[in-house]
Amino acid sequence: MPLTIAEGSDKSSKGKPVKLAKCCILVIATNKASRQRICQPFSNSKVTVETMQDLSLFQRQISIKHLTKNRLDVIVLSPEVYFSDYDLISQHLASLPAKLQPKILVIQPFYCAAISRKGLFSANNFPWFTSELAENLARLQNTANKRNILVEPEVFLPYKFLPTQVEVLLAVAVVSKYQNLIQVLQWLGLKVTVVSQQERLESLWQSARYTVVITEFLPFKAKLKTAINCLRGVFSLNEDNTKQDFCSQLELPKAWHSGRLASALDIEQLTQQLSPWLKVEHSICENKVEPVSKPQRSKPSEHETTKVSSVSDDVNLAAGMDIIDIEQSLDFTLNLAQTNDSAGGAFDLVNYASNQGSAELAAFMLNDYMTDIIANTHALDAALQQQDYHLARQLLKSLIATVSVISAAPILAACRQLNQLLSEQGADGAFSIAQKEQLQQQLNHLKLCLEQLTDFAESI
């Protein structure tokens, strides 16, 4: 649907047209509309644009022979391809000679829980992303970087946060300048509302609904008329010293926090500043994976069998942003009875939501769990092919822990059966030919269960 983004009428925010050097890019997008939107900014430039929609042809077409004869400078990944095949594409390109490797320009989904595993990228699919695509491409061309990544995934590793009910009011004249801040605030589990005028900022802040305000409109009426006993924060985005000092001059309760907010890319400093309102998740397996410690059973218990039900999740994917309407298609109010039947009971939605504590958190974490399960299954396959049975047991242990959390009975039973077969390893550490055949058969069964689970998760 057409969407107008309300922004302040700041003419200085409009940059000059970006001049792109002559280059060849490949746009990979399985969605036709997405492919057209990405290609449109380059229609009147010197850039040669090729497209690909069938990823099964990627490894065969992007080969050493092809790249030797045909120049390819940058591969642009659409949000849906980044979500499904980023690791596959990255690994294949890394296997090519360095001189032939094209750069990767990722367009990251604007609400993406996977930034803690894959990092934060400069481009994302906010409604205005096409107007900044040429600038992102030019910036990538002019650097030695192979990807348009801003924050490496290793930076996020020490942190894991749960969604909270804390509402943050972000007041900025040009929303696009702070898109990375919006992403990071969402990753922190905060609910974000964006306004672009000072009058609207003061009106919403005086409602006492918001716990934290982050603004570039200074000064403003920060003192609340309604006295509510709550720890609040007032943070400035301005680099101007006069406006920055205003935060320390506000007549605020001593318990409140104030100051200049750290850069969105300074994860350590930002999390420290906002720590009073963050909910840290210490360990997923610590509280949720009791089934792993129980004796193994050949058949799943009644607790693990799938129940047909209807789950209604009130998921605020845009974390309270005013532009939430663009994500209404992802509402989780579904009649899952038919889907559950067709999937053959891939996992128990009721038990999964119960394990997580709420349907909202269950929906929020599903992408993370599925990514871990798929990655560990691929690694398990490779470990068995290399006959690294010690690694295979470790991977199976991790798999059993994760699938227990989401109550995926079929794949859990397959994992336990495969683990049982691995425990029959001979004293010399080897398997007989018959045992290896059994291992392969059980691994194939596990892959089928994974396909069923993936299809069901994608249908949600």
Closest CA to 352 of 337, 343, 363, 341: 363
Q: How far apart are CA 430 and CA 421, in angstroms?
A: 12
For 19-44, how does the pLDDT look when each residue is reduced to its tens digit (9 = 90+)?
677 889 999 998 888 888 888 888 77
Q: Give the residue from 139, 162, 159 showing the smallest Cα distance to 150.
A: 139
- What does the block give as tokens for 12? 């200085």
For residue 75, what pLDDT is reported?
Answer: 94
The 10s digit of each residue's pLDDT in 32-82 is: 888 888 888 887 778 889 999 888 888 888 999 999 998 899 999 998 888
Give CA–CA dist 310/300, Å, rounded.
22
Whole-model pTM: value is: 0.57
The dihedral of CA 113, 118, 119, 123: what is its sign? negative
Q: What is the Cβ-side half-sphere exposure of residue 352, based on CA atoms within 13 angstroms?
A: 31
Q: According to the model, what pLDDT value does residue 460 have? A: 66
Tokens of 116: 């803690």
Q: What distance, in Å, lies between the first and last C-alpha atoms of the chain?
A: 22
For residue 192, what are its two tokens? 């974000």
Residues 418, 419, 421, CA angle at the centre, nearest 5°?
A: 65
Structural domains for the chain: 21-148 (3.40.50.2300), 161-280 (3.40.50.2300), 285-459 (1.20.120)
DSSP 224: -
SS (H, E, C) 144-206: CCCECEEECHHHHCCCCEECCCCEEEEECCCHHHHHHHHHHHHHCCCEEEEECCHHHHHHHHC
Rg of the chain, C-alpha, whole Å:
25
CA gap 259, 244 in Å, rounded:
7
Pair of tokens at residue 115: 């930034």
Integer Cα distance of 359 and 311 in angstroms: 8
pLDDT on residue 313: 37
Low-confidence ranges of the chain (pLDDT < 70): 1-19, 112-113, 226-229, 240-250, 282-346, 356-358, 425-429, 460
| Rounded distance between C-alpha atoms, residue 290 and residue 297, angstroms | 14
Tokens for 134, please give them: 């040429």
- What six digits make up the tokens of 241? 């010293």
Q: Is the separation of the CB atoms in 258 and 248 below 8 Å?
A: yes
What pLDDT was estimated at residue 295?
34
Q: Would you say 139 and 257 are in contact if contact means Cβ atoms under 8 Å apart?
A: no
Q: Which helix (H) or strand (E) holds 213?
A: strand 212-215
Distance CA 170, CA 212 (A): 9
Q: How high is the pLDDT of residue 256?
A: 83
Give the pLDDT score at 269.
Answer: 93
Write down the pLDDT at residue 109: 83
Nearest Cα residue to 309 out of 337, 332, 331, 333: 337
The pLDDT assigned to 320 comes to: 38
**Integer angstrom CA distances of residue 93 from 45, 141, 147:** 26, 17, 12
Ramachandran quadrant class, 407 (left: phi over 0; alpha: psi -120 to 50; beta: rest): left
Contacts 24+ apart (CB under 8 A), 220-228: 220/171, 222/250, 222/251, 222/252, 223/250, 223/251, 223/252
